[in-house]
């Protein structure tokens, strides 16, 4: 696509305005401190912070585990179906404001069922928000159930069994939580079962873990997308494989910055991934904890790394191509994307 250049000063507005899909968002990671305090109050749950400000000050992370410890503590205020609905609805309204037209949303049922919350409560609350987003906001949203990789494969199987009565309310499964020491192969059998069930398959790999974890996510779990995957750039053969097979990477730049995967946003390898022909996308991961929703990720990363309007188009189009929607809907979103670019003279 060779189109006239868009002046740099109009790039932020274009990034905000362009329609996009968000494919890597943990709904529990969208729970803002204000909502944590509100839910703690209404549910009578004690939290070890005196104020919203004190909680926010604790969001200073050194690596993935230092974040996960506080993220699981934050999720402990979620008790009722209304809590899950309110959390997802707050995210979906923000997503609408960022011109997200499609969201594929991760949830971690084991974080809740381990505390005695029923699977039904979790799924129904989240799913109701997704349905309302379609009717009231025009945002298409679906759920992806994630297994916690620091727990056993047996526990993942139990979680799958508990969720199957609501099979029509989620479109796929993923793998998240502490990566290093919990390689994808630990979950090969449960992913094989999910594949038989016709579920879409994704997994976090190569966030902090080595390229070997990306290889096994592809070859043993048979995932359709890799979440993060930024460590792949250390392995040229893997980069060629990802490009050739058009495997999408759901990259989360502000997450990588806040979890010290890259020392500065200027050092992020998003440009390198795009230049190597990989289908990279931009996402927020855990926006309440990492200082920004999807447009903040686009704006700050473009500012820091000097990416162009052409690359903005590529990233937005990749987000539709990588999503689990029918080809006809992908085409519709691409047309909307082209309309917005045309308004900017591209």
Ligand X SMILES: Nc1ncnc2[nH]cnc12
Q: Name the binding residues for substrate.
A: 286
In the chain the first and final C-alpha atoms are separated, in Å, by 10
User: 245 and 221 in contact (C-beta within 8 Å)?
Assistant: no
Pick 250 or 295: Cβ nearer ligand X:
250
Pick 11 or 55: Cβ nearer ligand X:
55
Pick 64 or 92: Cβ nearer ligand X:
64
CB-side exposure of 155: number of CA atoms within 13 Å?
A: 15
Please give the Cα distance from 341 to 123 (Å, whole number): 37
Q: Which parts are annotated binding residues for Zn(2+)?
A: 24, 26, 204, 285
Pick 121 or 177: Cβ nearer ligand X:
177
CB of 1 to ligand X, least distance (A): 32
* Residue with the two structure tokens 């990671």: 29
CB of 231 to ligand X, least distance (A): 13
Pick 71 or 302: Cβ nearer ligand X:
71
CB of 285 to Zn ion, least distance (A): 5
CB of 5 to ligand X, least distance (A): 35
Please give the Cα distance from 10 to 252 (Å, whole number): 23
Q: Could you tell me which of 23, 216, 202 has the C-alpha nearest to residue 102?
A: 23
Among Zn ion, ligand X, none, partner that 22 touches (CB below 5 to 8 angstroms by kind): none
Structure token pair of residue 318:
């990749």
Q: Which residue is nearest to ligand X (CB)?
A: 176
Q: Which residues are catalytic?
A: 207
Q: Could you tell me which of 226, 227, 229, 171 has the C-alpha nearest to residue 200?
A: 171
Query: What SS3 class is residue 67?
Result: helix
**Nearest 5 degrees, angle CA 298-CA 299-CA 304?**
100
Among ligand X, Zn ion, none, partner that 64 touches (CB below 5 to 8 angstroms by kind): ligand X
Question: Count of residues binding Zn ion (CB under 5 A)?
Answer: 1
> Which one of 155-163, 238-246, 277-285, 324-332 is the stretch in contact with Zn ion (CB under 5 A)?
277-285
Residues that bind ligand X (CB under 6 A): 26, 29, 64, 71, 176-177, 204, 207, 255, 285-286
User: Could you say whether residue 285 binds Zn ion (CB under 5 A)?
Assistant: yes
CB of 143 to Zn ion, least distance (A): 15
Among Zn ion, ligand X, none, partner that 81 touches (CB below 5 to 8 angstroms by kind): none
Residues 6+ apart with CB under 8 A from 76: 45, 47, 115
Q: Which parts are annotated binding residues?
A: 24, 26, 204, 285-286
User: 226 and 203 in contact (C-beta within 8 Å)?
Assistant: yes
Among Zn ion, ligand X, none, partner that 98 touches (CB below 5 to 8 angstroms by kind): none
Please give the Cα distance from 284 to 200 (Å, whole number): 21
Residues in touch with Zn ion (CB under 5 A): 285
């Amino acid at each position: 696509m060779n189109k006239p250049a868009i002046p740099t000063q109009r790039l932020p507005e274009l990034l905000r305005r362009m329609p996009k899909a968000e494919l890597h968002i943990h709904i529990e990671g969208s729970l803002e401190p204000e909502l944590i305090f509100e839910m703690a109050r209404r549910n009578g749950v004690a939290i070890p912070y005196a104020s919203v400000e004190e909680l926010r000050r604790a969001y200073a992370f050194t690596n993935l585990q230092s974040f996960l410890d506080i993220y699981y503590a934050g999720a402990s205020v979620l008790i009722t179906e209304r809590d899950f609905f309110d959390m997802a609805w707050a995210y979906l309204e923000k997503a609408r404001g960022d011109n997200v037209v499609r969201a594929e949303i991760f949830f971690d049922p084991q974080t809740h069922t381990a505390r005695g919350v029923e699977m039904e409560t979790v799924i129904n609350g989240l799913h109701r928000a997704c349905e309302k987003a379609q009717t009231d906001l025009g945002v298409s949203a679906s759920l992806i159930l994630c297994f916690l990789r620091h727990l056993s494969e047996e526990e993942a199987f139990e979680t799958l069994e508990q969720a199957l009565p609501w099979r029509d309310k989620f479109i796929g499964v993923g793998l998240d939580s502490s990566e290093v020491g919990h390689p994808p192969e630990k979950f090969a059998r449960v992913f094989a079962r999910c594949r038989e069930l016709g579920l879409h398959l994704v997994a976090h790999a190569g966030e902090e873990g080595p390229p070997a974890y990306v290889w096994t996510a592809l070859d043993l779990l048979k995932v359709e997308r890799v979440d993060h995957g930024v460590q792949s750039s250390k392995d040229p053969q893997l980069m060629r494989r990802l490009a050739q097979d058009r495997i999408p990477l759901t990259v989360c730049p502000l997450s990588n910055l806040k979890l010290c995967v890259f020392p500065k946003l200027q050092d992020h390898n998003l440009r390198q991934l795009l230049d190597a022909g990989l289908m990279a996308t931009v996402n927020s991961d855990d926006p309440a904890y990492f200082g920004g929703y999807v447009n903040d990720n686009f704006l700050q990363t473009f500012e820091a790394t000097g990416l162009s309007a052409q690359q903005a188009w590529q990233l937005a189009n990749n987000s539709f191509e990588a999503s689990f929607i029918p080809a006809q809907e992908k085409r519709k979103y691409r047309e909307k994307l082209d309309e917005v670019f045309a308004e900017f003279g591209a």
